[in-house]
Amino acid sequence: MRSLRKTVLLAIIASVVLVLALLHSWPTRAYTTVDVGQRPGQMMEKHLEERLSEPDHRLSNISFHVRDSVTSLLARNGCACEGDSGGLNLPFAQLLFPRVSAHPLHTAFEASELEEIKRRRAKEYQGFQTRSQTPADILIIAEANNPLQYPTQGVEVRPLKTIIVPGLALHQDLRREHYSINVTTTLGTLNVAAEVDGVKIKGDGEMHMTLSSSLLPNLNRQLQFVTYTNTLFHPSTADMVQLETEGHQAMFSIKIRHGVTPKLYNTGPKGEYNVSALVTIATKTFLRYDKLQDLINSVRRYYPTITIVIADDSENPKTITGPYIEHYIMPFGKVGGRFSASCLRYGRLSGFTTLSLSLSLSLSLSLSLSLSLSLALAPFLSQGWFAGRNLAVSQVTTKYVLWVDDDFIFTANTKLEKMVDVLERTTLDLVGGAVREATGYTATYRQTISIEPGEDDGDCLHMRRGFHHVIQGFPNCVVTDGVINFFMARTDKVQQVGFDPRLARVAHLEFFIDGLGSLHVGSCDDVIINHATKIRLPWVSQSESDKTYAKFRYPLASSDATHTKNGLLYFKNRFQCLTHN
pLDDT in tens, 471-512: 999 999 999 999 999 999 999 999 988 887 776 656 688 889
Q: Are residues 226 and 300 in the same domain?
A: no
Query: CA-to-CA distance for 153 and 167, rounded, in angstroms?
Result: 11
Q: Are residues 218 and 301 in the same domain?
A: no
What residues contact 417, with CB distance under 8 A and at least 6 apart?
Answer: 272, 273, 275
Provide the pLDDT for residue 365.
29
| Type of residue numbered 471 | I
Query: CA-to-CA distance for 560 and 557, rounded, in angstroms?
Result: 9
Query: CA-to-CA distance for 286 and 381, rounded, in angstroms?
Result: 8
φ, ψ for residue 223, nearest 5 deg? -65, -25
429: closest CA among 478, 353, 488, 503?
A: 488
What residues contact 66, with CB distance under 8 A and at least 6 apart?
Answer: none
- Of 257, 292, 327, the last residue of a domain is 257
Q: Give every residue of the chain whose pLDDT is below 70, as ranges.
A: 1-6, 8, 11, 14-31, 34, 37-60, 62-64, 67, 69-77, 86-96, 144, 268-271, 333-385, 503-507, 534-562
CA 108, 112, 115, 119: dihedral to nearest 10 degrees? -90
Q: Are residues 240 and 279 in the same domain?
A: no
Q: Are residues 462 and 326 in the same domain?
A: yes
In angstroms, how far is CA 129 from the centroid of its own chain? 18
Provide the pLDDT for residue 367.
30
- Of 229, 257, 285, the last residue of a domain is 257
Whether residue 30 is contained in a domain is answered as: no
Q: Are residues 389 and 482 in the same domain?
A: yes
Half-sphere CA count of 134, side-chain side, radius 13 A: 15
Whether residue 117 is contained in a domain is answered as: no
Q: Are residues 344 and 491 in the same domain?
A: yes
Domain at 312, CATH number: 3.90.550.10
Domain at 233, CATH number: 2.60.40
Query: CA-to-CA distance for 453 and 451, rounded, in angstroms?
Result: 6
505: closest CA among 536, 570, 549?
A: 549
- For the chain, the domain total comes to 2
Q: Are residues 157 and 300 in the same domain?
A: no
Q: Are residues 338 and 212 in the same domain?
A: no
Q: Are residues 415 and 493 in the same domain?
A: yes
Provide the pLDDT for residue 352.
35
Pairing of strands 459-465, 33-34: unpaired
With beta carbons less than 8 A apart as the criterion, state whether 181 and 245 touch. yes
Whether residue 230 is contained in a domain is answered as: yes
Q: Are residues 204 and 316 in the same domain?
A: no
What residues contact 410, with CB distance under 8 A and at least 6 apart?
Answer: 295, 298, 299, 301, 302, 303, 529, 530
Provide the pLDDT for residue 123.
84
Whether residue 321 is contained in a domain is answered as: yes
Provide the pLDDT for residue 376.
32
With beta carbons less than 8 A apart as the criterion, state whether 448 and 468 touch. yes
Pairing of strands 33-34, 179-184: unpaired
Q: Are residues 330 and 449 in the same domain?
A: yes
* pLDDT digits 0-9 by tens, 242-280: 999 988 999 999 999 998 888 878 776 666 789 999 999
Whether residue 126 is contained in a domain is answered as: no
Whether residue 124 is contained in a domain is answered as: no
pTM for the full model? Answer: 0.77
The alpha helices in 43-174, defined as continuous H runs, are 68-71, 93-96, 111-132
Instruction: Name the E strands within 158-299.
Output: 162-164, 169-170, 179-184, 188-192, 200-202, 208-213, 226-230, 236-245, 248-257, 279-285
In angstroms, how far is CA 269 from the centroid of its own chain? 31
Rounded to the nearest 10 degrees, what angle do helices 559-571 and 111-132 cross at? Answer: 40
Domain that holds residue 168: 136-257
Whether residue 527 is contained in a domain is answered as: yes
Provide the pLDDT for residue 341.
35
Half-sphere CA count of 528, side-chain side, radius 13 A: 14
34 conformational bin, left if phi > 0, alpha if psi -120 to 50, beta if neither: beta
Q: In a 3-state reduction of DSSP, which class is residue 375?
A: helix
What residues contact 569, with CB distance under 8 A and at least 6 apart?
Answer: 105, 369, 461, 575, 578
Provide the pLDDT for residue 315.
81
